[in-house]
Amino acid sequence: MAPTLPINLKWIETDQSGRTCVISVKIEQTKDRDFYQPDGIKSVFMVKREKRMGEENFETIILIDNHAPFGFHEHPNLPDESKVRQSIHVSNWQKAWFFFEIKIKELLDEA
């Protein structure tokens, strides 16, 4: 059975350097099938991390979302360049979420 939308999750993890990461997943059905491709579902997968350990100043370091004209894509050069996008070849938000989980594991397991 498919999960019920909307989904709005947020949790906290600590990366290998000891910095706090706030992880969020927001998925909602919209009426705009043209902008939120392919099926009108807006998906945003995000990780914000402390710039420096112990500070409350966070920066986005992982962002995966879907919208026209790009479809599903990640922003690979965060936090430095937010406008750079790279397509990820997935067909729905469930597969994008799986891709996001891989990115989180890489972040939390990095040495």
pLDDT for the residue 54: 83
**pLDDT for 38 beyond 90:** no
Cα dist from 4 to 16, 28, 75, 103, whole Å? 33, 9, 27, 24
Mean pLDDT of 30-55: 92
Residue at 38: amino acid letter: P
> Are 61 and 45 a contacting pair, CB within 8 Å?
no
Instruction: Strands of the chain (E only): list them.
Output: 7-14, 20-29, 41-50, 58-67, 71-74, 86-87
Strand order from edge to edge, sheet including 7-14 = 7-14, 20-29, 41-50, 58-67, 71-74, 86-87
CA distance 58 to 87: 25
Write the pLDDT tens digit of every residue in 54-111: 888 999 999 999 999 999 999 999 999 999 999 999 999 999 999 999 999 999 986 4
Positive or negative: CA dihedral 93, 33, 8, 60: positive
pLDDT for the residue 111: 46
Mean pLDDT of 6-26: 95
Enter the tokens of residue 24: 């969020």
Where exactly are the structural domains of the chain? 7-109
pTM for this prediction: 0.93
